[in-house]
Amino acid sequence: MKQAGKYLFRYKKYGLLRHLSHLETMKMIERLLRRTGLKFEQTQGFHQRMKLSFAQALPTGIIDLAGLFIASTFEVIDDPFVIKANSLSPNGLEIVRAEKVESSFKLSKALEGYEFKIVFLETPPLDLDGEVEEVNDIWVVRTFRPFNSSVPKNGEFGQFLTVRSKAILSEVQVD
Amino acid sequence: MNVLKKLVSVLDEVRKPSRYIGNEYNSIHKKNSDVNLCLVFPDLYDIGMSHFGMAILYDVVNSSNFASCERSYLPWVDMQGAMLKNDIPLYSLESYKPLNEFDVVGFTLQYEMSYPNVLRALRLSNIPLHNSDRSESDPIVIAGGPCTVNFSPMEKFIDAFLIGDGEEAVLEMLETMRNGKREEKLKNLSKIEGVYVPKHSKRVSKRVVKEMPSAPRAQIVPYTNIIHDRGIVEILRGCTHGCRFCQAGMIYRPVRERSANEVYEISRDVARLTGHEEISLLSLSSADHTQIGDMTSQLKSLKEVSISIPSTRVDALSVEVANAVSGVRKSGITLAPEAGSQRLRDVINKGISENQIYEALEHAKNSGWSRVKLYFMLGLPTETDEDVMAIGEMLQKAKHMGFKNVSATLGIFIPKPHTPFQFAPQIGIEEAYRRYKLIGWAHKYAKINFTDPQKSVIEGVLSRGGNEVSQVIEMAEKRDLIFADWNEMFNPQEWFKIFDECEIKLKDVISEKDGNYEFPWEHVDVGISKGYFWMEYQRALKGILTPDCREKCTGCGVCPNFKVKNVLKGKRAPEIIPAGGEMI
């Protein structure tokens, strides 16, 4: 039997959508993909759903510029598809791109971790590891968190904003 | 003004902020309209977004060329606190504009326990609670929904009520509010069919749309996990079985069906435009649709969505319909026998025999349903201890039939306005507990959920009361008795204290009334006369059945009074008995 193509999607979630929980984000993305009309691989069992696998969950309130998920389909996903998806997407959710990966690709193996930007309106606390940058009385601390380790929560360090800015992947094997 | 800037700092501090962010997919942001309306569902977003009536009016108004419609819901208490602290008024989810900057604010009154919530929403919006205190700069506050068939308890707070179907009337109302002074607008509103303006009207007849109106397809897709998180297609409105306790069955007459083809087209579009995984066919009794077989087989071709039907009646056909849409996954089926004994089912005009119920259960069992949920009411007119015991016996039999799981919900019967049982008494709290205990032995066969009888008494007073109850509602809101339908917020002692302070005699309100008793809702005409209700009540007491008017007209008066008729897509409706003609 022919195997469906596996795609790695990158998305951004910002603005008021940062207040969505991980489950709400997953549901929002699944419904967006359903609106495109493209057939994606489904889970097995009685209650069939789209088979999507998301990378690490993010606590509510964090801006996500480095969202990742994997979906499989027999159809071709190209730039026009991404444009179509974005036209059907709520404000604040954007699919950045989708790339085909090998069928053996697993996010849990490829994802090394994330870079976070923690934004302060006053001098950041000293116990927060990372590179500090200051422009016009705004401090940004860049910090790396390995995959599946704890992530900075909103307000944890008295910060103004938290951004998951980059996903660090070992080289993605494009099919 | 736009509250968005202030909102940003608050949303990090509250539970489930996704309820308050708005801007959902398919929400409409219409600018430059002549008149703007904010519809408010006086409960949490999770409940309000599941309500289809508001979705219909949102679509109707935003499709017009002169008016716009936005939405608002009552925030949970943590958010209310945060809003007060940060000086944020209640706002709409489209433009984040405070409600008091709208031309019109419209509440939907779906259940009586939400009345204090309405006042809380007004308070959070800085709109005076009493209609007499509102000035030129305040919005006109309107209300619709089933509770308006007895609007007396809310008369002090609302500027204009719309009774009946809203699709046509809402545009006429907004049209009159495009220009002019407040007083002039109110006067003009009172001239619209179906509208009651406390300041100007004496009587009102409900508004009826003759055919099923167009349906919203690009339905708003919420982010939050709401109570009914699915697409909705209304397949028929009204129900003519004539169950004597059922207010919806009386006030939504006549029956208006949507054709199977149209239901298919709408379902297909809703699925495509929303991305919902499930579509629910909405009606008071889906199995009654004269094209239900065609409909379910057409819908089977929509592979990408699952179809659900809220089952209510308990007969083989309902089970068949549930089978037709359920696919392989058959978890639970819900059936409503309402009463345990055949005698009592005849009193309420349920029109279903003991045999039919067990056939339906057998059929459900053989079709693979492993869990069954049964709905009953306690305290129906003439109910005896034997009738109550019969509920337990039915649960026992259902369990012995081999269902893995049997559960039952026991509600307390509340005599509702504009029903044959409006004359009937409601049982008190102690009596309700006594009767409930009679079937204590049935717990080993079924999980029995029992509605709090204290809540039923409060609901009974709010639904049957007159103007004197408005004081109670006002005090309830002041004492934070909002979200009364949420168990953690329900404080019956405080409610009863308020009834005492307002000298509301509970026993009087819930006692039996005779045919000459003057109800607070007599100036609302739903098309069925008090004489017909009284006759039906007398037939009930004698256990005489009245047929479904899709089979034979019973002379209730709705069709001749409003020049309408049952709209059936799969068969001819019977001849109508003219106004003043002999009732069945």
A9 to chain B, closest Cα gap in Å: 19
pLDDT at B181: 97
| Rounded Cα–Cα distance for residues B238 and B210 (Å) | 12
pLDDT at B515: 94
A47 Ramachandran zone, left/alpha/beta (phi>0; psi -120 to 50): beta
Q: What is the pLDDT of residues B279-295, one digit of tens each?
A: 999 999 888 999 998 99
Same domain, A70 and A102: yes
Under the banding of pLDDT at 50, 70 and 90, the label for residue A83 is very high
> Beta strands A138-146 and A111-120: pairing type?
antiparallel
Select the residue from B9, B18, B329, B330 to test the A interface by mutation, using most A Cβ atoms within 10 A. B18
Other Cβ atoms within 10 Å of B433 Cβ, number: 13
Share of chain A above pLDDT 70, in %: 94
Same domain, A104 and A118: no
ipTM strictly over 0.85?
yes
Residue A139 lies in a domain: yes
Q: Does residue B299 surpass a pLDDT of 60?
A: yes
Residue A48 lies in a domain: yes
Show the domain range for A64. Answer: 5-108
B197 to chain A, closest Cα gap in Å: 40
Q: Name the interface residues of B facing A (CB cutoff 8 Å).
A: 11-12, 16-18, 21-25, 221, 223-225, 271-277, 304, 328-329
Nearest to B30 by CA among B103, B95, B98, B93: B95
Q: In A, residues 51-70, which contact B (CB 8 Å cutoff)?
A: 60-61
A172 to chain B, closest Cα gap in Å: 30
Nearest CB neighbour to A34, from listed B11, B23, B275: B275
pLDDT at B108: 98
**CA atoms within 13 Å, Cβ hemisphere of A23:** 5
CB contact at 8 A, B549 and B568: no
Buried/exposed B296-316: b ≥16 CB within 10 Å, e otherwise: bebbeebeebbbbbebbbbbb
A21 close to B (CB below 8 A): yes
Nearest CB neighbour to A16, from listed B21, B271, B277: B21
A1 close to B (CB below 8 A): no
Q: What is the pLDDT of residues A98-136, one digit of tens each?
A: 999 999 999 999 999 999 999 999 999 888 889 999 999
Q: Does residue B337 surpass a pLDDT of 60?
A: yes
Same domain, A99 and A121: no
B contacts of A46 (beta carbons < 8 Å): 328-329
Helix (H) and strand (E) counts for chain B?
Answer: 21, 17
Decide which of A81, A108, A135 is a domain's last residue: A108
Please give the average per-residue pLDDT across B243-269, as a whole number: 97
Nearest CB neighbour to B272, from listed A20, A37, A49: A37
Question: Does B328 sit within 8 Å of A90, measured CB to CB?
Answer: no
Tokens read off for A15: 């603005």
Cα dist from B233 to B289, B458, B554, whole Å: 13, 33, 29
B9 to chain A, closest Cα gap in Å: 9
List of residues 6+ apart from A139 with CB closer than 8 A: A119, A120, A121, A122, A123, A124, A132, A133
Residue A175 lies in a domain: no
pLDDT at B328: 55
A46 burial level (CB within 10 Å; 0-12, 13-18, 19+): exposed
Residue A135 lies in a domain: yes
Under the banding of pLDDT at 50, 70 and 90, the label for residue B107 is very high
Total CB pairs under 8 A between chain A and B: 65
Decide which of A59, A77, A108 is a domain's last residue: A108
Tokens read off for B120: 């809380």
A99 close to B (CB below 8 A): no
CB contact at 8 A, B502 and B475: yes
Write down how long chain A is: 175
Same domain, A23 and A91: yes
Nearest to B63 by CA among B141, B174, B195, B221: B174
Q: Does residue B400 surpass a pLDDT of 60?
A: yes
Same domain, A43 and A129: no
Question: Does B275 sit within 8 Å of A17, measured CB to CB?
Answer: no
Domain CATH for A34: 3.30.70.580
A contacts of B16 (beta carbons < 8 Å): 21
CB contact at 8 A, B70 and B37: yes
Same domain, A51 and A90: yes
Nearest to A29 by CA among A79, A118, A93, A73: A93
Decide which of A63, A91, A108 is a domain's last residue: A108
| Rounded Cα–Cα distance for residues B52 and B352 (Å) | 29
Tokens read off for B13: 């501090």
A109 to chain B, closest Cα gap in Å: 30
pLDDT at A172: 61
B contacts of A21 (beta carbons < 8 Å): 16, 18
| Rounded Cα–Cα distance for residues A165 and A96 (Å) | 13
B contacts of A31 (beta carbons < 8 Å): 25, 221, 274-277
Under the banding of pLDDT at 50, 70 and 90, the label for residue B465 is very high
Under the banding of pLDDT at 50, 70 and 90, the label for residue B308 is confident
Average pLDDT, chain A: 92
Same domain, A130 and A97: no
CB contact at 8 A, B314 and B352: yes
B contacts of A89 (beta carbons < 8 Å): 25
Residue A124 lies in a domain: yes
B contacts of A23 (beta carbons < 8 Å): 225
Q: Which residue has the tokens 């019977």?
A: B574
Q: In A, residues 129-168, which contact B (CB 8 Å cutoff)?
A: 154-155
Enter the DSSP assignment of B77.
Answer: H
B contacts of A92 (beta carbons < 8 Å): 23
Select the residue from A22, A27, A32 to test the B interface by mutation, using most B Cβ atoms within 10 A. A27
Beta bridge partners of residue B71, listed in sequence order: B39
pLDDT at B498: 98
The domain spans of chain B are 4-205
Question: Out of A7-11, B361-365, B580-584, which region has the weakest mean confidence (pLDDT)?
Answer: B580-584
Question: Does B17 sit within 8 Å of A19, measured CB to CB?
Answer: yes
DSSP for B143-170, written as a single string? EESGGGGG-GGGTTT-SEEE-B--TTHH
Same domain, A33 and A104: yes
Nearest-Cα residue of chain A relative to residue B9: A160
pLDDT at B333: 84
Structural domain count of chain A: 2
Nearest CB neighbour to B18, from listed A19, A88, A155: A19
| Rounded Cα–Cα distance for residues A98 and A87 (Å) | 16
Nearest to B250 by CA among B552, B463, B462, B532: B532
List of residues 6+ apart from B561 with CB closer than 8 A: B205, B525, B527, B579
Cα dist from A120 to A116, A124, A134, B37, B449, whole Å: 13, 6, 9, 40, 52
pLDDT at B313: 73
Please give the average per-residue pLDDT across A52-78, as a whole number: 95
Q: What is the pLDDT of residues B72-95, one digit of tens each?
A: 999 999 999 999 999 999 999 999
Same domain, A82 and A160: no
List of residues 6+ apart from B272 with CB closer than 8 A: A35, A37
> Beta strands A93-101 and A5-13: pairing type?
antiparallel
| Rounded Cα–Cα distance for residues B396 and B382 (Å) | 23
Taking CB atoms within 8 Å and a gap of at least 24, the contacts of A21-25 are: A21/A60, A21/B16, A21/B18, A22/A54, A22/A57, A22/A58, A23/B225, A24/B18, A24/B223, A24/B224, A24/B225, A25/A54, A25/A58, A25/A64, A25/A67
B304 to chain A, closest Cα gap in Å: 9
A131 to chain B, closest Cα gap in Å: 26
Nearest-Cα residue of chain A relative to residue B21: A16
pLDDT at B334: 85
Q: How far apart are the first and last CA of chain A?
A: 18
Same domain, A99 and A115: no
| Rounded Cα–Cα distance for residues B442 and B450 (Å) | 13
List of residues 6+ apart from B419 with CB closer than 8 A: B244, B245, B246, B247, B249, B250, B533
Same domain, A19 and A89: yes
Same domain, A78 and A144: no
A16 close to B (CB below 8 A): yes
CB contact at 8 A, B50 and B19: no
Q: Does residue A43 surpass a pLDDT of 90?
A: no
B contacts of A37 (beta carbons < 8 Å): 272
State residue B546 phi and psi, 5-degree precision: -115, 135
Q: Which CATH class is domain B4-205?
A: alpha beta
Residue A123 lies in a domain: yes
Cα dist from B578 to B534, B556, B562, B565, whole Å: 19, 10, 11, 12
Residue A174 lies in a domain: no
Q: Which residue has the tokens 């049957």?
A: B464
Buried/exposed A72-89: b ≥16 CB within 10 Å, e otherwise: bbeeebeeebbeebeebb
CB contact at 8 A, B461 and B469: yes
CB contact at 8 A, B135 and B182: yes
Q: What is the pLDDT of residues B111-167, one digit of tens each?
A: 999 999 999 999 999 999 999 999 999 999 999 999 999 999 999 999 999 999 999
Tokens read off for B493: 């002692």
DSSP for A119-175, written as a single string? EESSPPPTTS-SEEEEETTEEEEEEEEETTS--PPTTTTS-SEEEEEEEEESPP-B-
Q: What is the pLDDT of residues B164-187, one digit of tens each?
A: 999 999 999 999 999 999 999 999
Other Cβ atoms within 10 Å of A109 Cβ, number: 11
pLDDT at B316: 72
Q: How far apart are the first and last CA of chain B?
A: 59
B379 Ramachandran zone, left/alpha/beta (phi>0; psi -120 to 50): left
Question: Does B328 sit within 8 Å of A35, measured CB to CB?
Answer: no
Write the single-letter amino acid at A175. D
B326 to chain A, closest Cα gap in Å: 11
A91 close to B (CB below 8 A): yes
Residue A91 lies in a domain: yes
Average pLDDT, chain B: 94
